[in-house]
Amino acid sequence: MLLLIVRLPDTARWLLMNGQREEATDLLRRVEPDMDPDEEVRRIEHDLSYEEKGSFAELFQGRFRKAGIFVVGLGFLVQITGINAIVYYSPTIIKEVGITSSTGAIIATGFVQIAGVIAEVVAFLVVDRWGRRPTLLTGIGMMAVANAILVLAYALESPATFTLLGILLFTIGFNFGYGSLVWVYASESFPVRLRTQGGSAMLTADLFANFIVGVVFLGALGALGGSVTFGIFLALALVSFSFVYILAPETKGRPLEEIRTYWYNGGSWPEESHT
């Protein structure tokens, strides 16, 4: 990762913030050959001219309240929907449904994670054609279907194959949607002046939800049974789908300066920004 990061250039915005206008123009010319670099530099300079530092409390006040709800809600839902219950406890779940060998359970979990990597690659290839919202909603929808399969697998005491199918589909859905997009999507959606505060709020909510799942899942699986436990995750996936559908903007193809206007406008695109 470090070797790859060393090769990354600074952003044009950072260069302009540090008085390196010529370097910023040259960078834009190289990374966006179809863009007018001088016009884009003027746009960024205009945006920087009236940007001021935001406060954490501002995330939940006035015109930014919707942004704050979106940021914290997205961070919470990405974990509370259960991905780390699968990641942490897949071998335990697999052994519970009939694969008694610890080695076999770990190997099966490894194949599931390989499928997750493939899902990440597919998301990378389609996201700029489909858009952020459709890709994310598709992944969350797959998670909901996977939870429904797991509910039935436990309720009907189906063979281990059906449980493995549910775990596989859940992992693919998460990696295709949340796993591929949540941080990119969120960084594109924050108002620039609140990006630091928004990122911190989102990560805090994410870690809190992860803590809840890590502490509660095994106890719930033992006390409530697999069918009820994954039924709860199914309900949470549906809540997550509705949340993203209602609140998440489509940011595909929009520069940061235009996305800023979405949040400054109370969570809606100004009329002149519609495409």
Q: What is the largest CA-CA distance in the chain?
A: 66
* Burial class of residue 149, CB neighbours in 10 A (0-12, 13-18, 19+): buried
The per-residue pLDDT for 237 is 97
Are 229 and 221 within 8 A, CB to CB?
yes
Domains and CATH numbers, the chain: 10-50 (1.10.286), 60-264 (1.20.1250.20)
CA distance 110 to 220: 25
The per-residue pLDDT for 77 is 95
User: In a structure prediction context, what are the per-residue pLDDT tens digits for the chain, which is 275 residues long?
Assistant: 899 888 888 889 889 988 899 999 999 998 888 888 888 898 888 777 755 566 777 777 777 778 788 888 999 999 999 999 988 888 878 777 667 777 877 888 888 889 999 999 999 999 989 998 999 999 999 999 999 999 998 888 877 788 889 999 999 999 999 998 888 777 776 666 677 788 888 899 999 999 999 999 989 988 998 899 999 999 999 999 999 999 888 888 887 767 777 877 777 777 654 44
Are 24 and 38 within 8 A, CB to CB?
no
64 Cβ contact list (under 8 Å, min separation 6): 54, 58, 191, 194, 263
The per-residue pLDDT for 275 is 44
Q: Which one, of 185, 38, 42, lies nearest residue 27 by Cα?
A: 38
String of b and e for 239-264 (b: at least 16 CB within 10 Å)? Answer: bbbebbeebbbebbebebbbbbbbbe
CA distance 21 to 15: 7
pTM for the whole thing? 0.78
Question: How far is CA 109 from each of CA 93, 146, 175, 206, 237, rounded to the nearest angstrom?
Answer: 10, 16, 15, 24, 22
The per-residue pLDDT for 13 is 86
Are 183 and 199 within 8 A, CB to CB?
no
How far, rounded to the nearest angstrom, does the alpha carbon of residue 45 sit from its chain's CA centroid?
Answer: 29
Tokens of 87: 């990641």
CA distance 237 to 259: 27
The per-residue pLDDT for 53 is 63
The per-residue pLDDT for 35 is 82
The per-residue pLDDT for 149 is 94
CA distance 161 to 239: 28
The per-residue pLDDT for 50 is 59
